[in-house]
Structures are given as structure tokens and as C-alpha cells.
Structure 1
């Protein structure tokens, strides 16, 4: 094991996993010369992940195998399925439920720009069938290899990008036959490449990590 770190949302809640955070962590330890390795193993609250700092500046993360059994997500359902129906204030919503170390719900939409992110996002996040709350992804499939995604994150609201959300969306899309691996997912903050060979196999996420600024906080 090379490093261990903990992840906190902007509201102070601790989370199990963060895909974007993993790539940023790799960039941080490289820039600060805390390691000379290009492949590092990192322990998070949900387990160990492997980070590969590539020569082209991209960072690949082995996010591990997705958890699809409802109790492991956690999600209340009588049996595992690729898609579930959720009653949201009397509205029947179709979604996939996936854990990438943290819980995700994935909804397919026709138009990413008009997706009801701020309407349904918080309602699904706090739905009683997700006892640990949930991140909510809204996915527009463009073709077999490309999609667009917006994510309402648990404890943070809509964000510019969500690495675990992109992984969960890819798992949902491949499981339901909408897309093929490898695939590209465009989020408001940038593009991620996702690979997944199927159940029991790890999800590989590749994308950039750029240092924006440095600062100091007096505590």
C-alpha cells in the first residue's frame, strides 16, 4: 500500500469513493514528489484502488468491480435487476442502481440540457429506498460509444464532473445493451474514457487531472 486518504463532500459528509478525487490525488502526490512511482495503490474507505499515471498526462484508475446486488449498494429491492421502477412523488421513474464504492442511480434521458437534474436529483438522493442516500446520474446516449452525463451528487448537488458517476453510468449503459466498451462520457467539466468487460470485472476510468491553484487555509 502506497497511500491512504479520506474524502469529504462540501457539506462535511464523508464518502466512500471519488473517481475524480482519485485522479487529483495521483496528480497531487506526483507534483509534490511524494512518490516516484507511476503506478500506485491507494486505500480509501471503500477499499483499495490502483492508479496509473500515464506519460501523456492522463491518469487511469482501476475502480474495482461494480456492485450490483441491491443490498450491497445499498438499495431496497426484492431482487437484482438491470432496471428498477422508483415512485417519486407519484411519478414512476426508471433507473439503474450501481455501487462503485458509493451508491449511484442512473436515469436515461432524451436531452441532457433539459434533464430534470434539480427537480428529481434531490428527491431521488433522499428516497427511502436508498438508505445511505444516493448520487443521481442523468445519461443521454449519443451512439454506441459516446454519451453525455450530468450528476446530482450526494451532499454536493450538481457538480461539473463525477468519476464514479461516469463509471456507474457506463455499467448501466453496457448492462442494458445501450452502449459498448470502451466508451466516452462527456460531463460539463470534461471527458472520461471508461472500459468495462462485464459483471465481476473491474471498471477502468481514464481522464485528466490539472492543478488549478494552490492556497492556504488557517484552521
Structure 2
């Protein structure tokens, strides 16, 4: 069974306040393609212009550190077919993790329930985030990936500081923000996938995140 965990990307959508929404275009229309291909054969070649931080997206170390691995340098083994673990934290603004969890080599997905507000003004208002102390612990314990179904893994209004990004990306732990649908997953016993295109020189890009259940 496959569970979708990404928000749908659509023309003009708002993911993060201040970041422009995607714009769809056409390089070759179906009508014009009829002049190129054999009779009865037509294609649509579309274009898209979007900020890398659109929809459900993955941050690599290059997003925070200029010398960190970018989208083309993070190995697929850190992005796909990872054993998953869901941390339930609904109703909590600053999420603190139990240090009894076994997180080494796993995709740790934090379910806050905040994805219900995606696309609304409330989504950016007092959103849940990961406590810096828990981010430090995840880095020490060797998690493979950390995800959250909220606007940001950090407390964004707090003087521009980003401790969770700083600690986790420095440790080589990739992040997935704006997840959705985590309530459909069991606490563990699934495999998580969130692989972006291999784009050199870019640190962030949308992913189609999903989980595979036995």
C-alpha cells in the first residue's frame, strides 16, 4: 500500500508567505505540435517556473552551507527506501522528542496536524516547530532524514535564527517540510521515499513524498 504525503502543486499556490507561487506555461501546444508530428499524433510540452521552496520540498545541506552536498550530491540511499518512524505531536507548538526513540538511519516524520491549515493564512501563524535540543539529539543519534507537516521545522518568527536547519543539515541530515497525511501512517513499519531531481548547484526542490506500507 502506498500513502501519498505531498501537497499538490498548482498554478499560483502559496507555500510560504513572500515566496512566489508557480507559473505554468506552454513551450509547444498540442495544436502547434500537429505541424511537427505525423497526422493523428500530437503532444503537449509544458514549462514551469517556480521557487525551489514550493509545495512539499526537501532541503539538502547546500541549502544552509555553501560547501554542503547539493541535490545532485546527496546519495539516493539518504532519500529513498528509508525505514520510517512517525512522532505524534498534535496540539504541541514546540515539539520535543523522547530520547527513548530509535532514530538511527531512519526517516523521522513529525506529525503536528498543522497540514490541515496549508494554503490558509493560519498556516504561517504560530506554527509548530522542532525544539533545538531535539534537533541536536537527532543529529547526535544519526537520523537519516527529518520531516514535518508544518510551515518550517524552525520557529520562523524567532529573530531569523534557524537552529534545527543549522544542526541537522550540518550533520548531513536532509529535511522535508510541508508534509501532509502523516495521520494515515502507523508509528513505524513503513518505508519512506522523498527523492528530488539531481540538480547541480541547488539545495532545495519539491518532492513527491510517499510511504510504502506492507
Task: Confirm or deny a common fold (TM above 0.5).
Answer: no
Determine which structure has more spread, i.e. the larger CA radius of gyration: 2
Greater RCO structure (CA 8 Å; 6+ sep): 2
